[in-house]
């Protein structure tokens, strides 16, 4: 079996003392050219992500699949489950848990910090995992976390499935304050995919996320609608999205 529990980052604590769960790794079957951290949705874990990614025919990608801390979630009336950050009702007035977002983004960055310098690194995820992947991407562009601490990972690509963009209201003004942030935003490829029948994170949130990124200066955003798809992934979506990822990263056999 080529995915296994790793101790890297496992057991580290977030800003509020919640402990991150196990991290699983799907090792590349061919030459290691890229490493992608893949982030699960609310209530899920890294093990199920690793089993999904294990089946994909992309031998040059190493997948790192961490597990979020178990914490009380406002959306669930305070019931605890695995979550990258706290979230209430998913609506236009959604409050961003910056402390939780930063803690998870830092945990993810730590997982990528020990990758070889010649390996391209990226982040992807589903639902809440897509939200933290996009938040991490905005941290990369800005060069800092929401708290102001420096963000040092050189992200090369981002994938977001059935998710949303935290901090979308203020993103454009933050990016436009810095020439370096503008350059970074324009340089990173991002693909968003969303089912038109999603009844958990509405399709309009995917559209708004893509639009907000574009307006903030992220020039390489692709948005793919999937007709009739609900709040789940299907093999066709995963294979198309990861093929895009491999192509944008210039991996062997992807052209």
Domain map (residue ranges) of the chain? 21-249
In CATH terms, 21-249 corresponds, of 2.30.30.30, 3.40.50.1820, 2.40.10.330, 3.40.50.11540, to 3.40.50.1820
Q: What pLDDT, on a 0 to 100 scale, did the predictor assign at position 3?
A: 33
Give the separation between CA 49 and CA 67, rounded to whole angstroms. 9
d(CA 163, CA 238): 14
Find all residues with CB under 8 Å of 108, minimum gap 6, and list them: 37, 39, 66, 123, 132, 136
Q: CA-to-CA distance for 168 and 192, rounded, in angstroms?
A: 15
Q: Distances from the Cα of 168 to the Cαs of 67, 125, 126, 135, in angstroms? A: 25, 18, 18, 9
For the whole model, what pTM was predicted?
0.92
pLDDT tens, N- to C-terminus, the chain (255 residues): 233 334 344 456 554 667 999 999 999 999 999 999 999 999 999 999 998 898 888 889 999 999 999 999 988 888 899 999 998 777 666 678 889 999 999 999 999 999 999 999 999 999 999 999 999 999 999 999 998 999 999 999 999 999 999 988 889 989 999 999 999 999 999 999 999 999 999 999 999 999 999 999 999 999 999 999 999 998 889 889 888 988 999 987 554
């Amino acid at each position: 079996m080529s995915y296994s529990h790793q101790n890297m980052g496992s057991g580290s604590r977030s800003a509020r003392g919640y402990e991150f769960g196990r991290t699983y790794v799907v090792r590349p079957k061919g030459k290691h050219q890229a490493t992608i951290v893949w982030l699960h949705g609310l209530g899920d874990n890294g093990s199920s992500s690793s089993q999904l990614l294990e089946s994909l025919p992309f031998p040059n990608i190493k997948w790192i699949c961490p597990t979020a801390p178990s914490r009380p979630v406002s959306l669930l009336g305070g019931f605890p489950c695995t979550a990258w950050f706290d979230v209430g009702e998913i609506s236009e007035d959604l409050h961003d848990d910056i402390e939780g977002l930063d803690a998870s983004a830092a945990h993810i960055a730590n997982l990528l910090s020990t990758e070889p310098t010649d390996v391209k690194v990226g982040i992807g995820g589903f639902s809440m995992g897509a939200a933290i992947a996009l938040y991490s991407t905005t941290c990369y562009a800005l060069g800092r976390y929401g708290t102001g601490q420096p963000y040092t990972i050189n992200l090369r690509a981002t994938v977001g499935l059935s998710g949303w963009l935290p901090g979308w209201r203020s993103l454009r003004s933050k990016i436009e304050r810095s020439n370096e942030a503008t350059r970074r935003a324009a340089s990173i490829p991002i693909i968003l995919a969303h089912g038109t029948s999603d009844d958990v994170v509405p399709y309009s949130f995917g559209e708004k996320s893509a639009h907000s990124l574009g307006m903030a200066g992220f020039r390489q955003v692709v948005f793919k609608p999937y007709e009739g798809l609900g709040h789940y992934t299907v093999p066709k979506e995963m294979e198309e999205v990861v093929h895009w990822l491999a192509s944008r990263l210039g991996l062997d056999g992807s052209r």
